[in-house]
C-alpha cells in the first residue's frame, strides 16, 4: 500500500495526463460511432431485401466494406492507418492519431449493432406507419430509432467499455493514454505500482461507462 501511495505522488501528473488522453481517444471514438456508425447501420437495415428502401447492390457493397473493416485486427489497422492519421491530424503518434484508428474500428462495429437493434423493432409498428402514409425517412426517425433507442444505448455502452480496452492496446504503438503509461513505466521500467494504478483507473472508467449507460437505458425504456 505504501508503494502505491508513493507511486501516486510521484507519477500523479503522468497518471492524470494519461487519463485525459484516454478520455480524448474514447470520446472521439464514441462520437464517431454515433455520427457515422448510426447512419451506416440505418443504411444496412433499410437497403436490405424487404427493407424500407431495398437496394440489394448498395446493401451488398456496404455490407462487404463493413465486413472488411471488421476483419482487421485492431493493432494491424492501427499501423496501416499511420499515413492517413498523419494526413488527418498532422501526426502519427499520440491520442489524436489513435482516435483516427479507433474511429475506423468502431464505425463498422457499431453499424452492425445498430442494424441488429433496428431488426428487433416489431415489424407491425413499421407496417402501421406505412399504412398511415409515413415516408421511409419518417419511419426511420419517428418509429425505428425511438423504439430501438434503449437497445442502441445499451449497444453504445458495450462499445464504450470495449473500446476503453482498445485504447490501452493502442498505447503499445505510442498512442498515449493509460496503456502507454503502463507499458513505458509498468513494463519497461518495472514500476509495478504504476501498472496497478493504470489498471485501477481503467477499471473505474469501465464501471463509470457501464453505470452511465445502464442509467440512460433505464431512462429511455418506455416499457
Domains of the chain: 2-218 (1.10.3720.10)
Q: What is the pLDDT of residue 167?
A: 84
Contact 122, 55 (CB under 8 A): no
Question: CA 171 to CA 156: how far, in whole Å?
Answer: 23
The conformation of residue 140, written as its DSSP 8-state character, comes to I
In angstroms, rounded to a whole number, what is the distance separating the alpha carbons of residues 46 and 63? 12
**Secondary-structure breakdown of the chain: helix, strand, coil percentages, each rounded to the nearest 5:** 85, 0, 15
Sign of the torsion angle spanned by Cα atoms 137, 104, 111, 32:
negative
Q: Are 65 and 149 in contact (CB under 8 A)?
A: no
Q: Determine the Cα–Cα distance for residues 201 and 203; give it in Å rounded to an integer.
A: 5
pTM for this model (two decimals): 0.88
Give the distance, in angstroms, between the CA of residue 145 and the centroid of all CA atoms in the same chain. Answer: 19
pLDDT of residue 112: 94
* CA distance readout (Å), 124 to 114, 205, 206: 19, 40, 37
Instruction: Give the separation between CA 197 and CA 36, rounded to whole angstroms.
Output: 34
Give me the pLDDT at residue 1, please. Answer: 62
The three-state secondary structure class of 219 is helix
Residue 9: the pLDDT is 61
Q: Quick one: residue 94, left, alpha or beta (phi over 0 = left, psi -120 to 50 = alpha)?
A: left
Helix (H) or strand (E) holding 43: helix 38-46
**The pLDDT value given to residue 209:** 92
Q: What is the pLDDT of residue 154?
A: 93
CB atoms within 10 A of CB 2: 7
In angstroms, the CA 151 to CA 121 distance is: 10
Written as tens digits, the pLDDT of the chain (223 aa) is 666 666 566 667 888 888 888 888 899 999 999 999 999 999 999 888 877 788 889 999 999 999 988 888 887 888 888 888 888 887 777 788 888 888 888 999 999 999 999 998 888 888 788 788 778 788 888 888 998 999 999 999 999 998 888 888 877 776 778 888 888 777 677 777 888 888 889 999 999 999 999 999 988 876 5
Query: Grid coordinates standing for 174?
Result: 505510442
Amino acid at each position: 500500500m505504501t508503494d502505491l501511495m508513493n507511486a501516486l505522488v510521484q507519477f500523479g501528473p503522468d497518471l492524470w495526463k494519461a487519463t485525459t488522453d484516454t478520455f480524448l481517444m474514447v470520446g472521439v471514438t464514441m462520437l464517431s460511432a454515433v455520427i457515422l456508425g448510426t447512419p451506416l447501420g440505418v443504411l444496412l437495415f433499410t437497403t436490405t431485401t424487404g427493407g424500407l428502401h431495398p437496394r440489394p447492390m448498395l446493401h451488398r457493397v456496404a455490407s462487404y466494406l463493413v465486413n472488411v473493416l471488421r476483419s482487421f485486427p485492431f493493432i494491424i489497422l492501427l499501423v496501416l492507418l499511420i499515413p492517413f492519421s498523419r494526413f488527418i491530424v498532422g501526426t502519427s503518434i499520440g491520442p489524436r492519431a489513435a482516435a483516427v484508428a479507433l474511429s475506423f474500428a468502431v464505425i463498422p462495429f457499431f453499424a452492425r449493432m445498430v442494424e441488429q437493434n433496428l431488426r428487433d423493432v416489431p415489424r407491425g409498428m413499421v407496417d402501421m406507419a406505412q399504412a398511415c402514409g409515413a415516408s421511409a425517412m419518417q419511419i426511420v426517425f419517428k418509429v425505428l430509432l425511438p423504439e430501438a433507442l434503449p437497445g442502441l444505448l445499451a449497444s453504445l455502452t458495450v462499445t464504450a467499455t470495449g473500446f476503453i480496452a482498445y485504447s490501452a492496446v493502442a498505447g503499445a504503438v505510442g498512442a498515449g493514454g493509460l496503456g502507454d503509461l503502463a507499458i513505458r513505466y509498468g513494463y519497461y521500467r518495472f514500476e509495478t505500482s504504476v501498472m496497478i494504478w493504470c489498471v485501477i483507473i481503467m477499471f473505474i472508467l469501465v464501471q463509470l461507462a457501464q453505470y452511465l449507460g445502464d442509467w440512460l437505458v433505464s431512462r429511455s425504456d418506455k416499457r
